[in-house]
Amino acid sequence: MVNKKILVVDDEIAICELIKMNLEAEGFINIRVAGDGEEALQIAQEWLPDLILLDLMLPKVDGLSICRRLKASNSPMSNIPIIILSAKSRENDIVNGLDAGANDYITKPFSNKILIARIKSQLRNCSKLDVNDVIRYKNLYINLPQRMIKIDSEIIDLTFSEFEILSIFAKHAGKVYTRSQLISNLRGDDGFDIAERSVDVQIVNLRKKLKDFGKNIETIRGIGYRLKEEQYD
C-alpha cells in the first residue's frame, strides 16, 4: 500500500506539506501536490494517481468541477478514489461533493489519524483489483475495469469494439484469432449479425490509433489476426 501514488490538491501550501509529512510518517513514498485546479487535472492525467485528496476552493478550476471531470463515465480516471478535504461543512456542501462523485468527504480541521485511516480504507478497496484486470505487453498497459489504454505515458482513446479487440489480442499474445472468433467475442454467439468485413475496418482503425505500436498487430493471411508474441532474450 505504501507504494500507492497519492495526489494532494490544496492551494494552501502549509496544508499540503502537513498532509505530505503525515503520509510519509506512515511510510507512503509516492506523493505529489498541486496548488490549483489546472495543475491537479494535468498531474492526474499524466501520473494517474491511486488516490486524490481534493480541496474544493481552488484557483483556476474548483474542486467540484475537477471531481465531475475525473469521475465522468468516459474518463480513464473515473475509478480513482477522491477524498474531499474542505472547510465547507454544511450538509448541502457535503451532499454536493458526494453527488459530484467523491468517495469520501472530510471537513477541515480534520484529525490526521482519521484522515490516514480513511485513505487506507479507500486504497484497500482499490487493491481488490484482480491481477487479471491489468494487462501489460511491451509498452502497452490495459486497465480493464477503467477501460483505459496507455502506450508509454500516452492515453489512447479507443471505441468499444477497438478496446475489446486489443484486449483480446493482449490477453493471448501470439494466438491467431479468426474474424468469426473476434465477432463472437465482441457480441457473443447469439449477438448481432456483423459482417466479417467490419472486423477488418476495426483493425485498420486500431492500427492507426496505436501508431508505431500498431505494427504489433499481424495479419495472418487467409486466417485472421494476432498480436505478435513477445520475444525474450
Full pLDDT tens readout for the chain, 233 residues:
678 999 999 999 999 999 999 999 999 999 999 999 999 999 998 888 999 999 999 999 999 999 999 887 556 677 789 999 999 999 999 999 998 989 899 999 999 999 999 999 888 876 655 556 788 888 898 888 778 899 987 889 988 888 989 999 998 888 999 988 888 877 644 444 456 678 899 999 999 999 999 999 999 998 999 999 865 33
Which stretches within 26-103 are classed as H helix? 37-47, 63-70, 91-99
Q: How big is the CA angle at 92 (ends 101 and 86), to the nearest 5 degrees?
A: 65
Grid look-up 497519492 returns 6
* Domain closes at, from 126, 144, 179: 126
Report how many domains make up the chain: 2
28 and 90 within one domain: yes
* Domain closes at, from 126, 147, 179: 126
9 and 87 within one domain: yes
163 and 87 within one domain: no
Task: Judge whether 80 and 9 are in contact, CB under 8 Å.
Answer: no
Domain that residue 154 falls in: 132-227
In a domain, 233, yes or no: no
CATH of the domain at 13: 3.40.50.2300
111 and 165 within one domain: no
